[in-house]
Amino acid sequence: MAKLVSLAEGVAELVRDGDTVALEGFTHLIPFAAGHEIIRQGRRDLTLVRMTPDVIYDQLIGAGCARRLVFSWGGNPGVGSLHRFRDAVQNAWPAPLELEEHSHAGMANRYVAGASGLPFAVLRGYTGTDLPRHTTNIRSIDCPFTGETLTAVPALNPDVTVVHAQRADRAGNVQMWGITGVQKEAVLAARRSLVTVEEIVDELTPVAGQVVLPGWAVSAVAHVPGGAHPSYAHGYSVRDNAFYVAWDKISRDRDTFQDWIATHVRTPERDGGRA
Amino acid sequence: MSEQYTADEMMTVAAARQLRDGTACFVGIGLPSTAANLARATHAPNLVLIYESGCLGAKPDRLPLSIGDGVLADTADAVVPVPEVFNYWLQPGRIDVGFLGAAQLDRYGNINTTVIGGDYTGPKVRLPGAGGAPEIAASCGEVVVIVRQSRRTFTERVDFVTSVGYGSGPDDRARLGLRGGGPRTVITDLGVLEADPVSRELTLTRLHPGVTVEQVHDATGWPLAVADDLSTGEPPTAEELTVLRALEATMRTPA
* SS3 call for A221: strand
What CA–CA distances, in Å, run from A215 to A13, A175, A211? 17, 10, 13
Can you tell me the ipTM of this complex?
A: 0.95
Beta strands B24-27 and B97-100, pairing class:
parallel
The domain spans of chain B are: 7-248
Residues A18 and B42: their CA atoms lie apart, in Å, by 53
CATH superfamily of B7-248: Glutaconate Coenzyme A-transferase (3.40.1080.10)
Interchain pair A77, B164: CB under 8 A: no
pLDDT of chain B, 255 residues: tens digit per residue: 457 999 999 999 999 999 999 999 999 878 899 999 999 999 999 999 999 999 999 999 999 888 888 899 999 999 999 999 999 999 999 999 999 999 999 999 999 999 999 999 999 999 999 999 999 999 999 999 999 999 999 999 999 999 999 999 999 999 999 999 999 999 999 999 999 999 999 999 999 999 999 999 999 999 999 999 999 999 999 999 999 999 999 887 655
Q: Which chain B residue shows the shortest CA-CA distance from A150?
A: B177
| B227: nearest Cα among B204, B197, B243, B247 | B204
What is the DSSP track for B27-83?
E-TTHHHHHHHHHHHTT-TT-EEEETTTEES---SS--SSTT-HHHHHH-SEE--HH
Of B66, B70, B83, the CB nearest to A112: B83
Architecture of domain A3-102+157-266: 3-Layer(aba) Sandwich (3.40)
Residues A242 and A245: their CA atoms lie apart, in Å, by 5
The pLDDT score that the predictor gives to residue B16 is: 97
The domain spans of chain A are: 3-102+157-266, 104-154
| B64: nearest Cα among A215, A244, A150 | A244
Interchain pair B86, A104: CB under 8 A: yes
Q: Which chain B residue shows the shortest CA-CA distance from A180?
A: B81
First to last CA, chain B: 35
Query: How does pLDDT run across A164-221, given as a tens digit for each residue?
Result: 999 999 999 999 999 999 999 999 999 999 999 999 999 999 999 999 999 999 999 9
Q: In B200-238, which positions are buried (b, 16+ CB within 10 angstroms) versus exposed (e)?
A: bbbbbbbbbeebeeeebeebbbeebeeeeeeeebebbee
Q: Please name the residue ranges forming H helices in B60-212.
A: 70-75, 82-84, 133-139, 172-176
List all residues of chain A from 124 to 143 with a beta carbon under 8 Å from chain B: 124-131, 134
